[in-house]
Amino acid sequence: MRHNLDFDIFDGEFIDTEILYWFDKSEYMETPSVPVIQVIFPGFTEANTAPISPNKLNVISTSFLQFTTEKAEFPDGIYHITYAIAPHDKLKVCKWYLRTTQLVGNIQQTLASISIEDKEKISLILEIDKYLLAAKAQVEENHVQANELFKYAQRLYAKLEC
């Protein structure tokens, strides 16, 4: 048997926008030494690396990853996330993740003020939601296309706010 590395990311969309929840789904031959998570934030090329606890749910903040000095919201966009155990260059798994927390929160605020007469706004919000669903569905297989869909949803929302 060999190590089988896997993880899931849950965002704090409805709990805490300053937190990501990283859950280790890996199967290990033995407890790994020096497990780390490497995160490339949207718009950046360098990874932020931090130690991670195997076999459990980890609560991750931007300050934990040393992206910010204090806890702050994770920006919306596509992240490249790598989980690695020693030797880090050989034992790793990488995933793409699309975070939409801020945009979804803005949409929720807009929905809270909509009336029955706002049919155009409702239609536009449904269209935005479809683009976000498509982007999330495609992020693992085609992160470039997913990013285009996400950016288009952001532009549609900007029209809604005008």
- The whole-number average pLDDT for the span 40-65 is 95
Give the end of a domain, one of 71, 98, 125. 98
**CB neighbours of 86 closer than 8 A, spacing ≥ 6?**
32, 33, 34
Q: Are residue 122 and residue 89 in the same domain, yes or no?
A: no
pLDDT tier for residue 122 given thresholds of 50, 70 and 90: very high
Domain annotation covers residue 58: yes
In a domain, 2, yes or no: no
Among candidate residues 128, 87, 89, 90, the one with its CA nearest the CA of residue 107? 128
- Give the domain-ending residue among 98, 113, 132: 98
Amino acid at 13: E
From 81, 98, 115, the end of a domain falls on: 98
Mean pLDDT (whole number) for 128-147: 97
Say if residue 108 is in the same domain as residue 94.
no
Domain region containing 77:
7-98
Together in a domain, 54 and 125: no
Specify the pTM: 0.91
Q: Which two tokens stand for residue 95?
A: 């995933």
